[in-house]
Amino acid sequence: MSVARLLVPPRAKRGELVEIRIAIQHPMETGFRMDNMGKVIPKNTVSNLVCRYNGTEVFRAEMGSGIAANPYLQFYIVARESGAVEFSWIDDRGEKGSASAVITVTA
Amino acid sequence: MTASALAAEPKRPEPLKSGIDFSGAEVRALQQDDFSSPAMLWITRGEKLWNEPAGKSEKSCAGCHQDARASMKGVSAKYPKVDPGTARLTNIEGRINQCRERNQQTAPLRYESDELLALTAYVGMQSRGVPVNVVIDPQNQRNFRRGADIFYTRMGQMNLACTHCHDRNFGRKLLNDTISQGHGNPYPVYRLEWQTMGSLHRRLRACFFGVRAELPPAGSQDLLDLELFLAWRSQGLIVETPGVRK
């Protein structure tokens, strides 16, 4: 079980830049480490992350072994209409996660 | 480790300072921000686990203790505590597992597992801002003495005691790190070096490793006694759970 957190301001004015913050609990195994027996721990990173605003893709990230464990992302979108901001991710082992939040846009 | 006459009378560092005061600005900022602090991921998970039924009883923690924000406020500041049932010293991790076995009727969580860290951190966070307050009484006097004994006794190939770094040299450098006073008030913490959450016992083991001493297992009596002594030693510092450290 993995945890993902998403922070979206609940209210915004139309045309306003809003900050989106994402945090995912993930080990981000680089594939370069070995366990106590000397066996290589297979690479397992969040390979793909997509964020959608009312169904439209607004942000995409492909993360590799250069990103630290428990990645944190922050970016901005323009508030156009009320609706859902959601994101989903998938890692090298096929594990998935998602989170969503609602934003209310006023004139 | 055997009980011996103490080399020194137990003392608190003066002035009492939390480890966060020895940390850099970035680490301090990370601990203060409840979203970008990676420790909050474990809090989110702990909150889920708190409300999730488990075991044969099909009861969740919330089933008996209701809202942790009210029922667990200030609780972790008084731990470790002697459990009246078993007359043994118990920390929050131990108390959670005791509840799981006795009341939820399910297997205890492995020490240092994500689940136990999440629950411990979630319970601990309800005491954030509350001063550490353990009382040394006839019931835990022996544990306190043993803990103090470990703190003041030289050990390992380096032949150092906890007191040599954390009482005599706090604020000075050990390689690229500033030596803290060695308090347990922010635990469990997210340690950047570990890239994950870790318990106080994991941190203590790292110090034992540092002086090349034999490592007591996490949850062992030695570490519990030391935890009690450290809590006494940090009396009055506020609980910072979940902390962030380098």
The tens digit of pLDDT for each residue in A3-46 reads: 999 999 999 999 999 999 999 999 999 999 999 999 999 999 99
Please tell me what DSSP assigns to residue B133.
-
Residue B6 pLDDT level (bands cut at 50, 70, 90)? low
Tell me whether residues B41 and A27 touch, CB distance under 8 A.
no
- How far is Cα B158 from Cα B125, in angstroms, rounded to an integer? 36
Q: Does B45 touch chain A (CB under 8 A)?
A: yes
End-to-end C-alpha distance for chain B, whole angstroms: 30
Q: Residue B191: closest CA among chain A residues belongs to which residue?
A: A69
Residue B202 pLDDT level (bands cut at 50, 70, 90)? very high
- How far is Cα A10 from Cα A27, in angstroms, rounded to an integer? 30
Domain boundaries of chain A, sorted by first residue: 4-106
pLDDT digits (tens, 9 = 90+) for B149-182: 999 999 999 999 999 999 999 999 998 889 999 9
Mean pLDDT rounded to a whole number for chain A? 94
Q: A4-106 domain in CATH 2.60.40.10?
A: yes
Q: Which residues of B214-226 are buried (b: 16+ CB within 10 A; e: fewer)?
A: eebebbeebbbbb
- How far is Cα B76 from Cα B91, in angstroms, rounded to an integer? 8
Reduce the DSSP state of residue A12 to 3 states and report it: strand
Q: Does B191 touch chain A (CB under 8 A)?
A: no
How many beta carbons lie within 10 A of that of residue B14, not counting itself?
A: 8
Kindly state the tokens that stand for B135.
């009382």
Tell me whether residues B38 and A23 touch, CB distance under 8 A.
yes
Contacts of B36 in chain A (CB under 8 A): 21, 23, 72, 74
Please tell me what DSSP assigns to residue B132.
P
How many beta carbons lie within 10 A of that of residue B170, not counting itself?
A: 17
- How far is Cα B82 from Cα B94, in angstroms, rounded to an integer? 11
Complete edge-to-edge strand list for the sheet that includes strand A96-106? A11-13, A96-106, A83-91, A46-53, A56-61
Interface mutation target, options A7, A28, A70, chain B, most CBs of B under 10 Å? A70
Percent of chain B predicted with pLDDT > 90: 93
How many beta carbons lie within 10 A of that of residue A6, not counting itself?
A: 18
Q: Does A23 touch chain B (CB under 8 A)?
A: yes
- How far is Cα B80 from Cα B246, in angstroms, rounded to an integer? 25
pLDDT higher than 70, residue B81:
yes
Tell me whether residues B35 and A1 touch, CB distance under 8 A.
no
Nearest residue to B28 (alpha-carbon basis) of B235, B186, B164, B211 = B186
Active site residue B207: yes
pLDDT digits (tens, 9 = 90+) for A68-96: 999 999 999 999 999 999 999 999 999 99
Interface mutation target, options B33, B34, B40, B41, chain A, most CBs of A under 10 Å? B41
Q: How confident is the model over B7-29, as a mean pLDDT?
A: 91
Kindly state the tokens that stand for A6.
């998403």
Backbone phi, then psi, for B66, in 5-degree steps? Answer: 55, -140
Alpha-carbon dihedral sign for residues B146, B148, B150, B154: negative
Enumerate domains of chain B plus CATH numbers.
19-33+132-245 (1.10.760.10), 39-125 (1.10.760.10)
Contacts of residue B175, defined as CB under 8 A and 6 or more positions apart, other chains included, come to none
DSSP H or E segment with residue A4: strand A4-7
Contacts of B196 in chain A (CB under 8 A): 27, 69-70
What is the per-residue pLDDT for B1? Answer: 47
Q: How many residues does chain B have?
A: 246
- How far is Cα B140 from Cα B155, in angstroms, rounded to an integer? 24
Kindly state the tokens that stand for A78.
């323009």
- How far is Cα B126 from Cα B97, in angstroms, rounded to an integer? 18
Residue B199 pLDDT level (bands cut at 50, 70, 90)? very high
